[in-house]
A and B are shown apart, each in its own frame.
Chain A
Amino acid sequence: MIELAGLTKRYGEKVAVNNLTFAVRPGMVTGFLGPNGAGKSTTMRMMLGLDNPTAGDVRIDGKHYAQLKDPLKYIGALLDAKAMHGGRSAFNHLLCLAQSNGIPRTRVHEVLDTVGLTAVARKKAKGFSLGMGQRLGIAGALLGDPEILMFDEPVNGLDPEGIHWIRNLMKSLAQQGRTVFVSSHLMSEMALTAEHLVVIGQGRLLADLSMPDFIRQNSRSYVRLRSPQRERLLDVLHQAGVTAVEAGGGALEVDGATSEQLGELAARHQLVLHELSPQQASLEEAFMQLTAESVEYHAHADHQGPAPDGAPPSGQAPGRAPGQAWGAGRQQPRKGK
């Protein structure tokens, strides 16, 4: 278990991580989510004792990282796939790590086998593709068979096969009872792996809750209606006290009523419906709305264009109301900011 208490990191005037308090619990994959520049990597570096916090505290099973005598047996971390000397072979890279923690040499062969790099064990790391480098980094993380694993953006730059592999690996590690903490700026990726979410933006904690709760609290559900008798439908809806919003292609989007209610309403007024479908905003959108205020690097040039990184093409985001920009939540004043 990793516990953070009031963790803060300042670089001069700029606050990179602001008073973070949360815990990473064993037996599940905890997703650490935030837009670029939110402070994810800085937080992870502080967890590993690489950066000194300006204030606050991180404890691994109650101990400071620097107090761990053989940290690889507690924590395996993949911070950066290229955090290795390119001139060293994969085997020697892992061997020098193993020796520093008193891990037997046989274990190096085991982890190389686990990540599927046995065939290239004697090749230099600089000749490795991004995916192979990532696998070697993960082999290093698994070396001490640790109970806690941390991965910083593990799927970045991987091909679908590699992404699939990492996903399953993380899930199986969590199933063995380990603590798995994985950062990403892609909500869609987290949706497939994480059971618990910690969301930060501009160094502040925005959410710390389970995935189903996150979905429940942060995504909008609505019903999409299409009818040839559009004007009459609007009247009927208006009389029923339901607000409908125009969507593209003659469709209407209705909040606050179930599809059953709307279908029965239409039937009572003998309206023809061509479409009656419940919709839910994507998780990606929920994440965008949560962090909209705290995205550090906005793409300002084109407001209709693709949203900041990680956003799906607009076609995949059925929840977006017409004319409503990604950053709509930005205008909403929120307390506690």
Chain B
Amino acid sequence: MTTPPTPQQPQAQPQQPQAPHAPAPAPQPQGAYAGAVAAPQGPPAMVPAPPPAPAAPAPPSAWQQAMNNAYTSPIPVTKTNIGHALASEWTKIKSVRSTVWTLSIFLILVIGIGLLAVANTQSDDYQDVPFTVPAFFGLMLGQICLITLGVLVTSSEYGTGMIRTTFTASPQRYRVLAAKALIFFVVAFVASAGSILLVGLMASGAHSGPEAGDIPWAGSVFKGALYVSLLGVLALAVGSMLRHSAGAITTMLGVVLVPAILPGFLNIWESTAKLGDKMADYNAINSLAKIFRIDGIDSSSTGNSQLVLLVVITAAAVAGAFALLEKRDV
């Protein structure tokens, strides 16, 4: 603790309204007062003597003395950094059940549906598509789990009031959000890349016959995992901006589903047909399909432009979340 400059005298009393019956003698209270009067006699060393004049604050010397006697903790002071925030957020994400549940469902969907697809395909089905295609079907549903988890990582703190405790402990708010996004991204990426890889290995093991084209599939593991993880980070940013779990999850479902549904309507009118085509090309489900080369390895669409679009949108949303974070009251 630093010794403060000469403390400022607290503002003079803003008018002490007198009790209606003016004279207030007898400073010897009784009954209900006993405790109150006893209290100031507590620790003589620390307590500035009761001020002599009514309403006058203790003289500065007494303050100084009190400051010098003030409590100092034996716990060493550490300068905190992003590492502390990451450790804290890692504890947070693994210590609630919703994380375990959403990730388990994600793995069950991707691996389970993937294995079903592997079991129902033949080697010649992989003639011009990569072995990771079975994971695509599970991933279409599984991405909703990652979206939910991403939203919950931020919005659940607002919903429960935990955010006030969090920001009291770490007033560097941007650091908290950065740590959340980073931890979530790593968790989501490891889970999705791992499950896609597993499905790909199963498929390549089961259908390695001569009919299968030797299509490289490492890129689809990486890009597929990146795509759904970024979708989750987008959800995390939306959760941080909306601060409401149900609202943020609904918004994200809209982001995923509306561009997949709307082209059907937009193509009715010539003026909107072009927009409809773009939506059909760039919606989340089609983007994943392109990343997994569903149309065949010879198709020109590699899913890269879709991935870039998602990177841009996610970056914008994260920037928005950071901008709002410092300004708003919690």
Contact = CB atoms under 8 A, between A and B. Distances in A.
A120 interface: no
A207 to B, nearest CB: 7
B29 interface: yes
A1 B75 contact: no
A209 B13 contact: yes
A62 B24 contact: no
A215 B46 contact: no
B70 A100 contact: no
A235 B72 CA distance: 65
A215 B29 contact: yes
A144 B95 contact: no
A204 interface: yes
Contacts of B27: 212, 215-216
Interface string B51-73: 10011011000010011011111
Contacts of B164: 45, 48, 50, 79-80, 83
Nearest to A53: B329
Interface string B83-96: 01101110110011
A206 B55 CA distance: 12
B156 interface: yes
B19 A286 contact: yes
B2 to A, nearest CB: 6
Contacts of A85: 92, 96, 156-157, 160, 162
A163 B165 CA distance: 23
B20 A332 contact: yes
Given A77-B168, A283-B32, A334 B55 contact: no
A220 B11 CA distance: 25
A176 interface: yes
Nearest to B58: A25
Contacts of B13: 207-209
A72 interface: yes
Main secondary structure of the interface of B (DSSP, over half): loop
User: A87, A100, A171, A191 — which one has the most chain B CB atoms within 10 A of its CB?
Assistant: A100
B19 A218 contact: yes
Contacts of A218: 16-17, 19, 24
Interface size class of A (residues with CB under 8 A): 35 or more
B42 interface: yes
B19 A281 contact: yes
A306 interface: no
A213 B169 contact: no
Contacts of B216: none
Interface string B6-19: 01101101111111
A96 B91 contact: yes
Interface residues of B, number: 87
B40 A219 contact: no
A67 to B, nearest CB: 8
Interface stretch (A101-109, A154-162, A226-234, A268-276): A101-109
B43 A175 contact: yes
B105 to A, nearest CB: 17
Contacts of A145: 73-75
Contact of B169 (A100, A171, A206, A220): A100
Interface stretch (A32-40, A192-200, A297-305): A192-200
A84 B24 contact: no
B330 A147 contact: no
Interface in A225-256: 255-256
A211 B50 CA distance: 9
B75 A103 contact: yes
Contacts of A258: 25-26
Contacts of A61: 1-2, 4
Contact of B21 (A1, A99, A208, A255): A255
B121 interface: no
A191 B32 contact: yes
Interface of A: 1, 3, 5, 21-23, 25-29, 45, 48-52, 61-62, 65-66, 68-73, 75, 77, 79-80, 82-89, 92, 95-97, 99-104, 107, 140, 144-147, 171, 174-179, 188, 191-195, 204-213, 215-222, 255-256, 258, 278, 280-284, 286, 289-290, 321, 324, 328-329, 332, 334-336
26 contacts: A1-B7, A26-B71, A27-B66, A49-B168, A50-B330, A70-B77, A75-B168, A84-B161, A84-B165, A87-B97, A88-B92, A95-B91, A96-B92, A96-B95, A144-B73, A147-B73, A191-B35, A206-B14, A219-B19, A220-B24, A222-B21, A258-B26, A282-B32, A283-B32, A286-B19, A335-B15
Given A25-B63, A84-B160, A216-B24, 18 more contacts: A27-B66, A27-B69, A62-B2, A83-B160, A86-B160, A95-B91, A95-B95, A100-B170, A144-B73, A174-B43, A177-B70, A207-B14, A211-B40, A256-B22, A278-B30, A280-B32, A290-B17, A334-B17
